[in-house]
Amino acid sequence: METEKLTSKEYFRYNEIIHFAFITILIILGVFFTYALKFGTDHVDPAMNIGFMYVMPVLAVVSLIACKLLFKQRLKECNAEMNFKVKLLLYRSALIQRFAINEGVAFSAVAAYFLTARLEYLAVSALFLIILLSFKPSREKLVEHLDLTPEEKNFVNDPTAEIV
């Protein structure tokens, strides 16, 4: 059975598509909930704000710390791997985990906005969207995050190089 070869250009394109999907879903959900609030607030319960008022800041801070620590741990696992292709797959997995943690907080904030109609929660979601945008994958970030050999750096910087 022949395995499909992956070029450096395709690897980064797939990472960018994954990143774009996380961002797009978050934006669509935010727009949908904002639009839904314009047509009715029967579901809005101001009493729910009391719980969210305490939960959202804690969730935001804990997720930022957890994201940083987990990403560092995942990078150590990537750097310990000797096989270059496995190292890249582990790195992609670390990126997805990083995206998901931040998107989870943003989703929670959008849901809090929808349930309470308080703009503060939409602002938290926007903040985490900006953070998510700053995590856009690139060749430069991969080289910065991983301990690559000169040969591996050549693979990463050559868009036509096949990663086997």
Q: For the segment 117-138, what is each residue's pLDDT rounded down to a tens digit?
A: 889 999 999 999 999 999 999 9
CA-to-CA distance for 91 and 111, rounded, in angstroms? Answer: 30
- Residues across the chain: 164
d(CA 161, CA 105): 37
Which residue, among 52, 33, 51, 31, has the nearest Cα to 41 in the 3D structure? 33
CA atoms of 16 and 122, how far apart (whole Å):
25
Q: What is the pLDDT of residue 138?
A: 93
Domain locations along the chain: 8-140
Angle formed by the axes of helices 119-134 and 84-116, to 10°?
Answer: 170
Within 13 A of 5's CA, how many CA atoms are on the CB side? 7
pLDDT at 3: 61
Stretches where the chain sits below pLDDT 50 are 1
User: What are the residues whose beta carbons fall under 8 Å from the beta carbon of 15, sequence distance 6 or more?
Assistant: 92, 95, 137
Predicted local distance difference test score (pLDDT) of residue 164? 61
Distances (CA, A) of 72 to 76, 78, 99, 132, 145: 6, 10, 14, 17, 9
pLDDT for the residue 1: 44
How open is the CA angle 62-110-98, to the nearest 5 degrees? 45
pTM over 0.85: yes
**DSSP count for the chain of H helices, then E strands:** 6, 2
What pLDDT score was predicted for residue 114?
87
Beta bridge partner(s), residue 6: 163
pLDDT of residue 38: 83
Angle between helices 150-157 and 84-116 (to 10 degrees): 60
